[in-house]
Amino acid sequence: MKLSHIEHIGIAVKNLEESIKFYEEVLGLKCYAIEEVKDQRVKTAFFKVGQTKVELLESTDPEGPIGKFIEKKGEGVHHLAFAAEGIEGALEELHHKGVQLIDKAPRKGAEGLDIAFLHPKSTHGVLMELCENKNKL
């Protein structure tokens, strides 16, 4: 398995607009994309910091994964996403190593990436995401 870098950090927020203001006006970053991912019931906003992105996630449904997360834990870091080369192979390897996979096969995430989540129970408490940009080549 080859992970090349941290692709993004996912942060759950209550209000996307308010949060974007903080990242832009206080931190001086620029939001370059806002996208709704219906599948995950979120609206996302992206910022680039070097080759790593910050992905803000606002729930569009209180019953969705981010809605539930915010209700339980409030705003904060939600997941860590690694860029993987060969995501299918990586998932198979993780499965064989006994890691609990939330997604057994990759699905489409924001920005058209292939993504898959690993269960925090298997990763020492961190919700991890693997992603691969297959549009690049």
Residues that bind Zn ion (CB under 5 A): 10, 81, 129
Least spacing, CB of residue 121 vs Zn ion, in Å: 19
Distance of CA 70 to the CA centre of its chain: 15
Q: Which is nearer to Zn ion, 3 or 96 (CB)?
A: 3
Q: Which is nearer to Zn ion, 10 or 106 (CB)?
A: 10
Q: Which is nearer to Zn ion, 35 or 124 (CB)?
A: 35
Least spacing, CB of residue 115 vs Zn ion, in Å: 7
Exposure class string for 63-96: b at 16+ Cβ within 10 A, else e: ebbbbebbeeeebeebbbbbbbeebeebbeebee
β-strand partners of 52: 49
Least spacing, CB of residue 10 vs Zn ion, in Å: 4
Q: Which is nearer to Zn ion, 10 or 65 (CB)?
A: 10
Residues 21, 67, 46, 27, Cα dihedral to 10°: 40
Residue with the CB atom nearest Zn ion in the bound state: 10
Least spacing, CB of residue 112 vs Zn ion, in Å: 13
Distance (Å, rounded) from C-alpha 63 to C-alpha 118?
A: 20
CB 59 within 8 A of CB 41: yes
